[in-house]
Amino acid sequence: MKKYSFLFFVIGLLLLGCSKKKEKFSEKSISDTLFTYLTLANEDTIPYEDRLSYNKKAFAILINQENDSLNRVNLFKVANRYYNMNNFVEYWKVSKIIAERSKNENDTLNIARAYTYIGDYYACTVKKDSAFLYYTKAEKIYQKKNDKVNLGGVFISMATAQGYENDFLGSELSAIKALNVLRDTQEKSKIYEAYNILGFVSNELKDYEKSLEYHTKALTLAKENNLKNFNEVSSSLNNIGNVYQNQKKYKKAIETYEEALKDKSLIVYKPSLYGILLDNLAYSKFKLKDYSQLPGLFYKSLRIRDSLDIGIGIVNSKIHLSEYYYEKGDSIKARGFAREALEGSREIQNSRAILASLKQLGIVEPQKASIYSEEYIRINDSLQSAERKSKDKFARIEYETDEIIQQKDKLAEQNRNILFFFGLVVMIGILLFVIKNQRSKTKELMLKQAQQKANEEIYQLILDQQQKFDEGREKEKKRIAKELHDGIMNRLASIRFNLFVLENRTDPDTIRHCIGQIEQIQEVEKEVKNIAHDLSHDTFSPKKDYEELLKSLALEVANAASLKINIRFSKLIKWETTNAVVKMHIYRILQESLHNIKKHAAAKEVSVNIVQENQMLHIEIKDDGVGFDTRDHSTGLGIGNIRSRAEEMNGSSEILSSNAGTIVRIKIPL
């Protein structure tokens, strides 16, 4: 017969989940009355109704008090007591109130703790996906706070919820996460739970060796750290026995169960585990055909489970009794227990238990085997579909990046309609915006094309005008050249001949006549200056290649003085947009500097660097000559001209000289 390993898995998770008690608080309360109510509500020896009454009175006091940290701590105590009394509805209500109060005060740690409590409520009901959602919310907060202890606890709760839904791989991953964050902590009980879950999962995945490894680690941890709160040693022995049963190593299973049953405190403190061990021991003996204590052990386990109203355990016991009586040839009892198991599994709405009961009924009632088989297939298909959906929900929730606020069921449909309407409006708005934006871009493109065409026409007009201007200027230059040749040159020749008389005659009358020629020379000088001023703009016209002009100057000086002159320009400089007056001053500064070097420096090599940095033009003229004393020559005409030209351009000048050479630096703002 097939062993019902899933039932063992569920029972094991129950031992780790809903059957575990919340911690008992001992903090001092705000009043003696409240302290008394909370203490009495947590006392197991007091009747259930009285404990429930005391807890309600404590809640009535707290709900009307100010929402401070102490108030929320005491509300957690009330929730714990409802949990320990299995009153999950009130436990859920109080946990929701704590969550709201914690949000109002931005108490993030208590928000996370309240989410965990709400998750525990859903974990003990059929809404495992809701449990996983709230555990995920708590996980995000604990990760942000780097709270490893509580984060590990949340991972364990998530693993348990996933195990309930047969998401074994997801459960294994969550348990491993728990171990990773708890590894360096002293939370031995939580580490024990993580090992147990990994053992359960490996058992379900039929990796029995790995399951034994995890359960053995849990057993060792329980023994070394004296974990006796929930009889962890006996629980681990029961888990190891289950693995041996699945391996059909029934003798080892019996030895393990008997060792666990040596703990007589189980009867008082953990009767549910005691009933499980009796049933497992009986089933292992049955598989070995050792009927010496059978069916007594089965009935003893059934009585314990029935007294505790453990539905899944009752079903499991009756299935085992049906197997036993079928083996012994008592078909009436075999059918009776199988039918009772099916009825009980339907009452507790446990699909896996229903499947196990149907399978057993198909064996003990072969004449109806086809009917049971048909129902078995239908339920199994439905269950597998539901499990796939649950796994999808777990995956979706786990990878949520933002918290999703759960709305009340009554508002769910309304919220969906609002969301749909809002999304539709947004989509229409985006569509209209895109259309309008596209039209604007089209108009803008058309305007740019029109502007480009207009610019081309304007540019052509400018070129035509410039050509006419150049033609006129060229004509004017020829006229001026003619006047220079015909006018000024003739006057200078006349003056020259008048002055030649001094070579032969030096009498006073001749000298006075010659002195009169000075006025003629001054008039010629003025005329030359006027012509030169007009021509300066032409010399440094944007149409001319200014860099070639400077290079020609350098080459002229270099050839005349046998100098090596290296001149370098920055590619960033736009000479065509530079003011003609500025270019004229630069030309004169370079001319003055090179002529000074030629005359006085006795240099062999000169370097000229003209570069632009941001909006500043930097000029450096450096030679390797003998240098000079800048203090003695500070008022000289050449140096003075260089400095005055720099100042006229709103720039600055610096002249450094030593016996190693001279450096002239000019800075001009563009």
Question: Nearest-CA neighbor of 175 among 187, 188, 163?
Answer: 163
**Cβ atoms of 28 and 38 closer than 8 Å:** no
Cβ atoms within 10 Å of 147's Cβ, excluding its own: 19
619 phi and psi angles, rounded to 5 deg: -120, 125
- Spatial CB neighbours of 357, under 8 Å, sequence gap ≥ 6: 315, 319, 338, 341, 342, 344, 345
Q: Which phi and psi (to 5°) does residue 53 adopt?
A: -65, -45
The whole-angstrom separation of Cα 379 and Cα 388 is 14
Structure tokens at 666: 């000019």
Give 71-126 as a 3 state SS string.
Answer: HHHHHHHHHHHHHHCCCHHHHHHHHHHHHHHHHHCCCHHHHHHHHHHHHHHHHCCC
Torsion over CA of 470, 471, 472 and 475, rounded to 10 degrees?
A: 120
| H helix runs in 296-368, sequence order | 296-308, 311-328, 331-347, 351-364
Q: Quick one: pLDDT at residue 566?
A: 92
What are the angstrom distances between the C-alpha of 299 and each of 142, 271, 317, 583? 47, 15, 8, 115
The answer to whether residues 632 and 657 touch, using CB atoms and an 8 Å cutoff, is no
User: What pTM, to 2 d.p., does this model score?
Assistant: 0.52
User: Are the beta carbons of 257 and 279 closer than 8 angstroms?
Assistant: no
Give 179's strand partners: none
Long-range contacts: 283-292, Cβ < 8 Å, 24+?
283/3, 283/245, 283/320, 284/241, 284/244, 284/245, 284/250, 284/253, 284/254, 284/257, 285/250, 285/254, 286/320, 286/323, 286/324, 286/327, 287/245, 287/248, 287/250, 288/250, 288/251, 288/254, 291/328
Q: Which of 178, 172, 209 is nearest to 192 (CA)?
A: 178
Please give the helix or strand (H or E) that residue 567 lies within, else none: strand 564-569
Q: What is the pLDDT of residue 27?
A: 43
Task: Output the pLDDT for position 411.
Answer: 56
Per-residue model confidence (pLDDT) at position 437 = 86
Per the CB < 8 A criterion, the answer to whether 590 and 608 are in contact is yes
> For the chain, first and last CA: distance in Å?
99
Query: What count of other Cβ atoms lies within 10 Å of the Cβ of residue 31?
Result: 11
Cα 199 from Cα 147, distance rounded (Å): 26
Give the DSSP H/E element, type plus range, for residue 669.
strand 661-669
pLDDT for 122: 82
Radius of gyration of the chain (CA): 52
Distance between CA atoms of residues 422 and 178, nearest Å: 41
**Tokens 């393990």 belong to residue:** 256
d(CA 497, CA 668): 48
**pLDDT (tens digit, 9 = 90+) per residue, 280-302?**
999 999 999 999 889 999 999 99
Phi, psi (rounded to 5 degrees) for 349 = 55, 45
Quick count: other Cβ atoms within 10 Å of Cβ 341?
Answer: 26
pLDDT along the chain (670 residues), means of 10: 43 48 46 82 87 89 88 89 86 89 89 87 74 85 87 86 80 88 86 88 90 90 72 88 92 91 86 91 91 90 89 89 90 89 86 84 85 81 63 50 44 70 84 86 82 66 63 66 55 64 74 72 70 56 73 85 88 84 87 87 91 90 88 66 88 89 92
Q: What pLDDT, on the 0 to 100 scale, is given for residue 383?
A: 65
How far is it, in rounded angstroms, from Cα 50 to Cα 82? Answer: 12
Positive/negative CA dihedral, 577, 578, 581, 585: negative
